[in-house]
């Protein structure tokens, strides 16, 4: 179990592509893979040598799902994503499971 969040927002296809680019250029980006018709993005800190990532993110039709295994701070090591959402003026809310 980790800390689970959903960033609730409606994105266009172009916005999804832009967000994918932000995720893939994050310094902690480890790998992406498809599962159950969703694209997953894993992130890990440089000191994490284990099998489990620090963060797992996937995009859904109604927003972005984030599962953190390291800290309850949703934006830690995902500052670029937050800045992108804020700078582009996305209206979003965060649901903390």
Q: What is the pLDDT of residues 59-88, one digit of tens each?
A: 987 899 999 999 999 999 999 999 999 999
If you average pLDDT over residues 35-64, what whole number do you get?
A: 93
Sign of CA dihedral 75, 90, 87, 12: positive
Domain coordinates in residue numbering, the chain: 3-96
Q: What number does CATH give the domain 3-96?
A: 3.30.310
C-alpha triplet 78, 37, 79: angle, nearest 5°: 5
57 beta partners: 41, 66
C-alpha triplet 77, 81, 82: angle, nearest 5°: 90
pTM: 0.92
């Amino acid at each position: 179990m980790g800390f689970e969040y959903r960033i609730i927002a409606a994105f266009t296809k172009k916005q999804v592509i832009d967000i994918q680019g932000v995720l893939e250029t994050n310094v902690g980006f480890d790998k992406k893979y498809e599962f159950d018709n969703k694209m997953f993005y894993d992130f890990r800190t440089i000191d994490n040598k284990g099998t489990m990532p620090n963060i797992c993110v996937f995009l859904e039709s109604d927003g972005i799902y984030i599962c953190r295994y390291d800290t309850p701070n949703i934006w830690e090591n995902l500052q670029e994503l937050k800045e992108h959402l804020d700078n582009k003026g996305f209206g979003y809310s965060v649901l903390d499971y």
